[in-house]
Amino acid sequence: MLGDNERGGLSGNAVAQLVRRATHGSWLIYTRSGIVRTLSGRTGQSPRGDMTGVNGKVSEIQAFIAGVYHQVAVTGADGASHSILPISLTADRGQFLSDLCRREGARSVLEIGMAWGLSTLFLLKALIANDAPVGAHVVIDPFQSSDFHRAGLVSIKMVGLESMVEFHEEFSEFELPRMVEKGRLFDFIFIDGNHQFDSVFLDLVYGNRLLKPGGAIVFDDSWADSVFLACRYLESNYGYTPLAEYPPMRPGRRSRRLYRALMRAYRKPSQPVVHPRFYLVPFHEGLHLGQGTERRLRADGMRALKAGDRMAARQAFKAAVRLHPRRISTYLRLLRTYLPWAGRATSSMG
């Protein structure tokens, strides 16, 4: 998810590089009117319709995505502009997701949780590159109208890919069983819906039934306790093998099992795993519950410290210490809140 102080997870230079790469060296930005504006100030008609072939369409989608991150906003069905902060997939995570889907050669994708539609666009870019058929991308999101002004669907229409998407405005716990009953199968599944453990677990159980043998499943926000536990269960009880993670674990880290990446991808076994009736492999050994909350508190403390609010920073760091009393770096950050120049020094360094 995007933080309040992020512009789609990219700095100004990174946005420019993304746009430049997307348009093969032409510095173009999509505007809401469909006009392409160069950074030098010249304007021209949208390349939509002029670009031919798979590479052209992929570049068009990438340019549109870059424009959204540059503006930090999308257009809703009401015609208004809506900020993608603080709930959206960051650009680096989106690129990881798209690259993985493309490498897997996926031609059918199930996505749970659409929000502002950026993850959908990243996946559509991969599907186009893989020459996927019409209706290849199935999306479930019960809040697309109520919370997101149908902006994800509007973006899909703006890039001319309505025929590629089958959309269900329904809760996943209701829609997924219907898909299982119909015998539907997918090459690739992306889970980014309700992050409460019971909801993630249900998405996992039904996702396992909907995923083809050897297919890939990806979880966003796998740093959170609820999602991390679901991932551990998938490995220990369903026999899934780790496929990729973002960001990758630093060299020298002792335990991959306890590493909390932002995103995790797994491969389903090619043959079903059969267990005895009361089979269960414990999946929470060594797990420090509250680690996701602790990480968030530490981040909140640093933001408060940079803003000069030493009292708020102090409260956040104290709460983090209670969750993980052995982390020395948190004590050092807490100590900084008692230094009268700490906030100003941190701000000047940032």
pLDDT per residue as tens digits for the range 79-93: 999 999 888 899 999
Mean pLDDT of 229-256: 86
Mean pLDDT of 215-237: 93
Residue 299 pLDDT > 90: no
The pLDDT of residue 9 is 42
Which residue would you say has higher pLDDT here, 52 or 37?
A: 52
Residue 103 confidence class, pLDDT cut points 50, 70, 90? very high
Mean pLDDT of 272-294: 76
The pLDDT of residue 5 is 34
* DSSP state at residue 171: -
Characterise 346 by phi-psi region: left (phi > 0), alpha (psi -120 to 50), beta (else).
alpha
Mean pLDDT of 265-294: 80
Mean pLDDT of 260-284: 88
The pLDDT of residue 52 is 52
Tokens 């809040």 — which residue? 143
Rounded-to-10 torsion of CA 212, 224, 203, 218: -20
Mean pLDDT of 163-191: 98
The pLDDT of residue 8 is 39
End-to-end CA distance of the chain: 21
Mean pLDDT of 260-277: 90
Residue 316 confidence class, pLDDT cut points 50, 70, 90? confident
Residue 141 confidence class, pLDDT cut points 50, 70, 90? very high
| Residue 51 identity | M
Total Cβ atoms within 10 A of residue 110: 28
The pLDDT of residue 39 is 32
Residue 31 pLDDT > 80: no
CA-to-CA distance for 278 and 349, rounded, in angstroms? 56
Task: Give the phi and the psi of residue 72 in degrees, each rounded to 5.
Answer: 55, 35
The pLDDT of residue 342 is 53
The pLDDT of residue 289 is 63
| Residue 63 identity | A
Residue 29 pLDDT > 50: no
The pLDDT of residue 230 is 94
Residue 105 in 3-state DSSP?
Answer: coil
